[in-house]
Structure 1
Amino acid sequence: MDRTERFYKIELLLRNRGQVSFEVLREELDVSPATLKRDLQYLRDRMDAPIVYDRGDNAYRFAQGGGGRNGAAHQLPGLWFSEAEIHALLTMHQLMAGLDDDGVLARHLSPMMDKLQAMLGADAGEARELMRRVKVVGTARRRAPSRYFELLGSALMRRQRVWLRYFKRSDRSESVREVSPQRLLHYRNTWYLDAWCHASDGLRRFALDAIREARPLDSRARPVALKDLESRLDAGYGIYGGGAKIRWATLIFQPDAAQWVAHEEWHPQQKSRWLPDGRYELQVPYSDPTEIAMDILRHGDNVRVVGDAALVRTIAERMARAAAQYV
């Protein structure tokens, strides 16, 4: 490890253990006695670290109060994490790994994770054990080619336009688009790109796994305010949230299903209430019935749509066609 990493590790060891012997410090840092002496001297003289040697305990510790020359609690400049924060970051990394099919994010974050583990010293094994005890299971996952994720992420940060060859599943056709990336979205185990499409002159959402080819362009991306992006693409239900006309679906869940649904968020602006007989009423906005119909159908006879004639008809027709397959 480099000298900066050693400085942070020395501070972390002293803060977490209270006092540490010279030999333990040297073993933890894997350096020569001369190097460790120089590091301790540099921390005292240049970084104002209140490190003292306790002859009685034959160990190094922070002076009483842990203050520097100005009396304030000492802390190295730059990014600082406590042991608890490091554990939290390592756990978060494991959660992100569950969303990272092709290892794109993990590959770029790995050096930082190694440094965080190194800062934990003797507790690095505990950190690795903790990471193995966090598991993310995704179903019906659609894998997106990693080269497009990286390319689109880079274009988004650089504010570059991108040329796409895109496959449209609804009619099994391909089209060529020039887009200005605005946001990457991870939704239900799948990555999407929200972008301004210059061919259709509007905001569109593209599934990354449906992108057949992509390349960055030299031209500058068209800027779109985040509030405009959210109002246009997030107002309705799920991934089909876009649409000018927003309608509200009213769903009545039977008491058994209500115990689970009452703890779910179907939409950030949903409205809900318990009915006197133990049923649960949920109201959610939508513009396109495709996804909300799928979520309603998975509850079978435990839910009933009321008030919205068009949605009622859609659900009834879908259930009738499904039942007809088992006759």
Structure 2
Amino acid sequence: MTKTARVYKIEMLIRNRGHVSFQTLLDELEVSPATLKRDLDYLRDRLGAPIEYDRSLNGYRFGKEYRGQRHELPGLWFSEPELFSLLMINQLLGDLGSDGVISRHLQPLLDRIHQMLGKDSDIKVLLKRVKIIGLARRPVPSHVFELIGEALLKRRRLHLRYLTRGRGVASQRDVSPQRLIHYRHTWYLDAWCHSRERLLRFALDAIEDATDTGSRAKDVPVKQVESEMDGGYGIYAGDRVDWVTLMFSPQAARWVRHEEWHPNQKGQLHADGRYQLAIPYSDPTELAMDILRHAGEVSIVSDTGKVAEIVRSRTRNAWEMLSAQKDAG
């Protein structure tokens, strides 16, 4: 353990436990008494840590004038529960499908966290007991993810070779990145497209190549991005929205009424236990699929667009397939 890690560990132990004996510090840090004394002197004399020895407690604690106040060493500071939370967050970040780029850049911080905790067995148990299952994940090449992240923060314009899946054709685009989105195991970029002169949403895994143009990005107000890209349900963007009103059975309502399908949704719990939910959408496809997950427990009360039409069509097709299989059997 480095000296920096040791001094952070000493203050963390005192902060979390109130007071810590000299022997406990020796056991936790696994250093000689002389080294520990030098670390304590360094904390007090060089870093200004308000640490004092209390004979009645036979341990080190913060001085009376600092109790109840927050003294922080230079640099990053976390309590032990916060450090364990960071490790769990790292597990989540490692599952985001960006070719490990996020975890790789966080590795120096993670190494420092491991040193500060000092209990390898606890860390290993934590990491074994946190499991993230990701299905249909679309990985993004690390060089693309890093370039877009840098351009987003430094406000740089990018040139993309982008594959439009619907047409199966790659096109050249100059874009000004505005926002990164991670949705259902896929990364997306909201950007101002200079060839179309409007905001568009790009799937990062469909970007075949990306380069920095050397020019500054066009800044679009965040409120405008949110207004144009977040109006509809799910990942489909659009500032023009339709509304569908759903009615869930009492059985389904027990769960659905606690769910957020869209930030602007309107829900109402009826006296008989049914739950009415109104949802805005721009494209009906994704919403229709999610409604079908509740087949038999939901009905469509009203719809200003085509989501009801898609739900009816897919339900009819499903019944026809089942009938055909039954006849064939």
* Short-chain TM bin: 0.7 to 0.9
Taking a change above 3 Å as real, the CA distance of residues 230 and 262 of structure 1, as seen in their structure-2 partners, is same
- Within 1, Cα distance between the matches of 2:75 and 2:184? 36
Between the aligned partners of 1:252 and 1:72, the Cα distance in structure 2 is 52
Q: 1:207 aligns with which of 203, 207, 232?
A: 203
Q: Which among 131, 136, 141 is matched to residue 140 of structure 1?
A: 136
Quick one: distance in 2 between partners of 1:45 and 1:97?
A: 40
Give the counterpart letter for 1:128 in structure 2.
Answer: K
Q: Distance in 2 between the 1:313 and 1:74 partners?
A: 62
For normalisation by structure 1, the TM-score amounts to: 0.88
Map 1:97-246 → 2, pairs under 5 A: 97-100=94-97, 102-121=99-118, 123-243=119-239, 245-246=240-241
Q: Deviations over 1:264-284 (max 9, x none)?
A: 111011111123433221100
Q: Which residue identity is paired with 1:275?
A: H
CA 1:61/1:205 → structure 2, altered by over 3 Å: closer, same or farther?
A: same
**How big is the shift at 1:117?**
2.3
Query: Is this contact kept in 1: 2:97–2:137, CA < 8 A?
Result: no
**Please, which runs of 5 or more residues in structure 1 have no aligned partner?**
none
Alpha-carbon contact 2:14-2:62 (below 8 Å) kept = no
Deviation at 1:222, TM superposition (A): 0.7
Q: Does 1:289 align with 2:284?
A: yes
- Cα separation, 2, equivalents of 1:111 and 1:133: 23
Query: 1:28 Cα deviation (Å)?
Result: 4.1
> In structure 2, do the counterparts of structure 1 residues 60 and 140 end up closer, same or farther at CA, with 3 Å as the change threshold?
same
Contact map agreement 2:232 2:281 (CA 8 A) in 1:
yes
CA RMSD, aligned part only? 2.6
Q: Write the distance in 2 (CA, Å) between the matches of 1:144 and 1:109.
A: 18
Picking from 81, 86, 90, the partner of 1:84 is: 81
CA distance in 2, matches of 1:73, 1:287: 49
Give the deviation of 1:126 after TM superposition. 1.8
Output the amino acid matched with 1:189. Answer: H
Counterpart contact for 1:152–1:181, Cα < 8 Å: yes
C-alpha separation between the residues in 2 aligned to 1:139 and 1:168? Answer: 22
Query: Relative to structure 1, is the Cα distance of residues 8 and 228 closer, same or farther in structure 2, using a 3 angstrom cutoff?
Result: same
- 2:273 partner letter: G
Give the 3 Å change call, closer, same or farther, for CA 74–203 of structure 1 in structure 2. closer
Aligned-partner Cα distance in 1 for 2:293–2:62: 63
Q: How far apart are 1:317 and its partner, in Å?
A: 2.0
TM-score normalised to structure 2 length: 0.87
The alignment partner of 1:166 has SS state of strand
Task: Please give the alpha-carbon distance, in whole angstroms, between the structure 1 residues aligned to 2:198 and 2:283.
Answer: 17
Q: Distance in 2 between matches of 1:108 and 1:170?
A: 34
User: Is it true that 1:304 corresponds to 2:299 in the alignment?
Assistant: yes
Letter in structure 2 aligned against 1:87: F
Secondary structure of the residue aligned to 2:296 is helix
The alignment partner of 1:237 has SS state of coil
2:255 to 246, 260, 263: 260
8 Å Cα contact 2:83/2:113 also seen in 1: yes
Cα distance 1:164–1:306, how it changes in 2: closer, same or farther (>3 A)?
same
What is the deviation of 1:113? Answer: 1.5
Match of 1:51 in 2: 51
Report deviation, 1:260.
Answer: 2.4
**245, 267, 271: which is aligned to 1:272?**
267
Between 126-135 and 226-235, report the one with greater CA deviation.
126-135
Contact 2:201 2:237 (8 Å CA) reproduced: no
Contact 1:271 1:282 survives alignment (8 Å): yes
Could you tell me how far 1:205 is from its partner in structure 2? Answer: 0.4
1:118: how far off?
1.6
**2:61 paired residue number:** 62
Distance 1:16 1:50 in 2: 15
Q: By how many angstroms is 1:51 displaced? A: 3.2
- Asked if the contact 1:47/1:76 (under 8 Å) is kept, the reply is yes
